[in-house]
C-alpha cells in the first residue's frame, strides 16, 4: 500500500517541477482578453485634462499578436453641436488633436477609433473607445 501511494504521488511532484521550471515572468505575458483601445492606461470613461494632455500615443491591448496602428481618429461634437473629426496616421496624437479635446467643455464625450493591422498587413477589427473629458 505504501508503494502505491508513493507511485501515485510521484507524477504530481514531477508535474509541479516542470511547471515551476517553465514559469514565464509576468512582465513577458501578453495582455489577453478582448482587444481594446487604451489612452494612458484607461480603456474608457472619464479622463482628466492633465492626463489627456500628457497622452502622446493610442495603444491597443488584449491582442495575442501585436497590432500596428496605421491611423487613429477622434470624434466629438463642438460647442455648437457640430460633429468634429480629427485624424492622424499612426498611433500618435498630434498637438492639435490634444488641444481640440482639451478645450472642450467639462463632461463632453469623445470617441477614439483606430485602424490596426497585423504583421501581414491584414486589417484587425477594433472597437472604438468612449471617453469623457473632465477637469
Could you tell me how far CA 122 lies from the centroid of its own chain?
19
Q: How many domains does the chain have?
A: 1
Look up the domain containing 101 and give its range.
29-134
Residue 10 inside a domain? The answer is no
Residue 74 inside a domain? The answer is yes
Question: 4-49 pLDDT, tens per residue?
Answer: 544 445 444 444 444 444 443 333 334 567 899 999 999 999 999 9
Residue 12 inside a domain? The answer is no
Residue 92 inside a domain? The answer is yes
pLDDT in the model for residue 92: 97
Residue 1 inside a domain? The answer is no
- Between CA 26 and CA 122 the distance in angstroms is 29
Whether 70 and 89 have beta carbons less than 8 Å apart is answered as yes
pTM: 0.75
Residue 67 inside a domain? The answer is yes
Residue 99 inside a domain? The answer is yes
- Between CA 110 and CA 105 the distance in angstroms is 11
Question: 111-126 pLDDT, tens per residue?
Answer: 999 999 988 999 999 9
Which CATH number does the domain housing residue 99 bear? 2.60.40
Amino acid at each position: 500500500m505504501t508503494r502505491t501511494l508513493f507511485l501515485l504521488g510521484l507524477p504530481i511532484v514531477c508535474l509541479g517541477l516542470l511547471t515551476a521550471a517553465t514559469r514565464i515572468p509576468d512582465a513577458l505575458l501578453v495582455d489577453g482578453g478582448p482587444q481594446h483601445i487604451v489612452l494612458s492606461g484607461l480603456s474608457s470613461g472619464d479622463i482628466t485634462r492633465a492626463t489627456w494632455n500628457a497622452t502622446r500615443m493610442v495603444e491597443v491591448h488584449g491582442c495575442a499578436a501585436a497590432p500596428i496602428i496605421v491611423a487613429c481618429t477622434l470624434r466629438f461634437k463642438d460647442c455648437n453641436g457640430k460633429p468634429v473629426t480629427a485624424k492622424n496616421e499612426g498611433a500618435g496624437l498630434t498637438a492639435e488633436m490634444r488641444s481640440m479635446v482639451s478645450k472642450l467643455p467639462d463632461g463632453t464625450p469623445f470617441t477614439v477609433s483606430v485602424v490596426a493591422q497585423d504583421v501581414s498587413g491584414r486589417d484587425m477589427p477594433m472597437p472604438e473607445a468612449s471617453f469623457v473629458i473632465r477637469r
